[in-house]
Amino acid sequence: MNKPDMKVVIAGVEFKNPVIAASGTFGFGREYDRFYDISALGGISVKGLTSEPREGNASPRIAETPSGMLNSVGLQNPGIDAFLAGELPELRKKNVVILANAAGRTIEEYAAMTARLSAADVDMVELNISCPNVKQGGVAFGSLPESVFDVVSAARKTCAKPLMVKLSPNTADITKTAQAAERAGADAVSLINTLTGMAVDLEKRRPLLANVTGGLSGPAVKPVALRMVYQAATAVKIPVVGMGGIMTARDALEFMVCGARAVMVGTANIADPMACPKIIAGMENYCREHAISDINTLVGTLQV
């Protein structure tokens, strides 16, 4: 058959294929562009940005776990000014959708970040609501529907660009937080962010991470991620972008069958710098082998 149509549209933004490099594992694309032309990607969600530069948490801040990885990097980034002045102009030279990932410590900081990013030459803003709310005792914004609604509402007021909200899995009911984001004006949701976990050195009787706990990612979280993507996709009308343990094309396609319009690939990039182009090629081959002319026809076809 002819080449399958791999294009997907999310909140009015067209992606040449459904594979987006996830925030946190891809930096600003410079390192990976040495391995392949990153214009091959559907999109890039850049390193999480904050109003000021951050050095991140103390080391060690990465630990391998069975079928996964723990990280407590702590949103190390050069700050929004450096991104706008140095990273964005270079990334804009690539034919790829750019998602700016915004983080903050207060609702006011989120609103200020989305205002600045909305005025910049990015295609979408992805709101990272797994950050602790310093005004509410450090509880993550994404943990409760009420705080999700409040922070997304504030960001929506200052954001003229399509707004995607990255949901935390560390919540009692993912459908409630997804619905809260939708009610507050989100154009799409992405999930899941990392699960909170820890690892221990038995001989030293100490945690492997200096921060004690960290975010678990990689294949170990895929069953949880699939479940949450399926639940969220059935609970909201806005597009869902799925992530969590995607290592292969089949993994990515499973997320789409569960309701994701597109996928984000994170930890796989660390294991194999060529992971994303391999996944794109594998998805296209699957469609060709199964006589699927348009990849969008797979979305939400899970039979239960």
Catalytically annotated residues: 131
Would you say the C-alpha torsion 143, 147, 153, 159 has a positive or negative sign? Answer: negative
Two tokens at 206?
């100490």
Two tokens at 297?
């026809």
Distance, in Å, from the CA atom of 86 to the CA atom of 73, rounded to the nearest integer, reads 22
Give Cα 58 to chain centroid, integer Å. Answer: 23
User: Which element (helix H / strand E) includes 70?
Assistant: strand 68-71
DSSP state of 135: G
Q: Are 243 and 217 in contact (CB under 8 A)?
A: no
Distance, in Å, from the CA atom of 50 to the CA atom of 82, rounded to the nearest integer, reads 11
